[in-house]
Amino acid sequence: MSTLEVGAKAPAIKAKNQHGETVQLADFKGKKVILYFYPKDNTPGCTTEACNFRDNYQALLKDGFEVIGVSIDSEQSHQKFINKFELPFTLLADEDQKIVNDYGVWVEKNMYGKKYMGTHRTTFVIDEKGIIQHIIKKVDNKNATQQIRDLMAK
């Protein structure tokens, strides 16, 4: 699990988005960022979470947030996922697992007694200066946006 803590500087990110363009976390300096890690494009839980962010995207923008999703899927996989569900935000391809490792969300998982490595669904809320404000380790896929709003209201 992530060893990062609230108040720490968010690790730098440099990865390709769904269009093959290089995106860095530094590109969003001055904006609040919802950086969410999810296991796999086009799976039920990941689709539910992405669609929740999609459905609340305009309100999140109005609140000064940018949304960035990260998985180990390819740019092409992200493009299909975005097209299929009309996702309006950036998805980063972390095929070499650098970002998931830097954020401590690449973990051993266990399904039906079989152990394997995978991405632990985690959301980081990062402020305008690049400082981690909140870490959500138990993401409610259907209410991901509301979870963030509730934390921000505290």
Interatomic CA distance for residues 100 and 106, integer angstroms? 5
Query: Alpha-carbon distance 120 to 148, whole Å?
Result: 18
Is residue 34 within 8 A of residue 68, CB to CB? The reply is yes
| Residue 20 CB contacts under 8 Å (≥ 6 apart), including other chains | 75
46, 93, 100, 148: the catalytic one is 46
- Note if 46 is an active site residue: yes
Residues involved in catalysis: 46
